[in-house]
Copies of this chain bind each other. A is one copy, B any other.
Amino acid sequence: MSKLASKVKEREEDFVFLDELFDRLFPICRSITGPGFRESLRILQETIPFEVMSFESGSQVFDWTVPEEWWISSGSLIGPDQKVYADFEQSNISVLNFSEAVDKEMSLEDLQAHLYSIPEHPDAIPYVTSYYKRRWGFCLPHRVRENLPQGKYKVKIVAEHKKGHLNCGHAFLPGKTKKEILLSSYLCHPSLANNELSGPLVLAWLYKQLAQKEDRYFSYRFVINPETIGSLCYLSRFGEQLKLSLETGMVLTCLGGPEETLSYKASRREDSRLDRMIRAFSNDEVLKMRCREFTPLSGSDERQYCSPGFNLPVGHMSRTLYAEYDGYHNSLDTKEFMNIETVLDSAEKIYRILNCYEKMGLYENTSPYGELCLGKRGLYPSTNSHDTWKQSSDKKLDDRKFLNTVLAILNYSDGKHDSVWIAEQMKWSPRELEPAIAVLQEHQVLKRITETCE
């Protein structure tokens, strides 16, 4: 099989892998606690060997209290005409997520306070949660809601909150250094595609790729948890350790929408090496992406990682962002909207980003006095004539850009300017520096400086 054919085949397998994983995970009714979350985690464990940890209901986590587990078995809203207007079996977001039990008859008027719909998207069932205040409720299309007949409704939700645990998972891939790259996603939303499953899908694919990669420079930490309360639990146990071991990280979510490029929100530091590298991709045709400044006003788990007590260099990688598409937090967020092909494309791009990041760092020119004699290493043309330059059999010498990267790296690698700085300074994509870094390391004139964690 040719290399190209093998590549195509591999990609097909990747697609099938993601597609099947999606189909198994989508129907499960997840929440921040309970059996749905655990079942989903078990399925992911087939790919990522997550070690699972538990946090007891009622225990204190920083300023928060771990909620009880939510066990739901059914829920239905039946009209005076015996029609079923909302049914948990049909759509698990029909019942307010984390809803308490209810079993009674009531007038439409009394029912209204327990109904949720979206006037702007009259055919969509909204995804509504009430984790920290006990409520019961049904979510239904606004068009349905508006046409509900007067009369008595039977409302029945069979659900229970019980003492138990909130769960998180993490897995590791060791690298040459102990410094870690955190890849974190969440798994608490029920049947939603872009704003739920795209994250864990990318995480699974990345784990597979990185596990196969032979020469990982950094160690990798994969984390999965229920959003917000889950990352708080995780940080309560590993936050201090992460302050020491973390090189960089990103929260992965909303990675399957139609947006053309990825979209990166910088860490609270705004100038982590990853933040700077991604901005420098403005000079990269393939990895050029939307760059967002850090904001504490909205986001996902990076809001916890970037809280002032931790201030970890963790960004947020997405594509079509929450609140920027019609299907956000409602039943329009489907596999069709999301697109497995795009999820794979996002995953591949993030893998490229990580591969580039592995090469970025602080380097030192070991012969800093004067320019290096590149000619004797075959890295510089032996005459000043353009002819020689062009006639050289060595492809590298034919490539003025390669020579330029060599010159820039040697001049600026003084142990103070990292390779991302050099790319920024020269207005190049960071990826363009990789060949020269490799060649100069081979010639033992460039040394990577192991930076200790701050």
Contacts and interface: CB of A to CB of B under 8 A. Distances in A.
Interface string A133-172: 1010000000000000000000000000000000000000
A369 B407 contact: no
Interface in A291-342: 296-297, 303-304, 306-311, 329
Contacts of A303: 371, 411
A408 B296 contact: yes
The secondary-structure label for the interface of chain A is loop
Copies in the complex: 3
A129 B387 CA distance: 12
Most central of A296, A303, A404 by chain B CB within 10 Å: A296
Interface residues of A, number: 58
A383 B128 contact: yes
Interface stretch (A16-24, A251-259, A277-285, A372-380): A372-380
A306 B369 contact: no
Given A129-B384, A130-B382, A132-B375, A235 B411 contact: no
B375 A133 contact: yes
B130 A369 contact: no
Nearest to A445: B63
Contacts of A65: 373
Contacts of A384: 127-129, 329
A131 B136 CA distance: 84
Interface string A100-132: 000000000000000010100000001111101
A48 interface: no
A94 to B, nearest CB: 14
A370 B232 contact: yes
Given A132-B376, A383-B130, A370 B307 contact: yes
A433 interface: no
B128 A309 contact: no
Contact of A63 (B130, B239, B367, B414): B367
A76 interface: no
A369 B239 contact: yes
B385 A116 contact: yes
A228 interface: yes
21 contacts: A61-B370, A62-B367, A62-B369, A96-B383, A126-B385, A128-B383, A128-B384, A129-B384, A130-B383, A132-B373, A132-B375, A132-B382, A133-B383, A135-B383, A297-B407, A303-B371, A308-B365, A308-B410, A308-B412, A309-B367, A309-B369
8 tightest A-B CB contacts, nearest first:
A309-B368, A296-B411, A133-B382, A309-B369, A308-B414, A308-B368, A62-B370, A128-B385
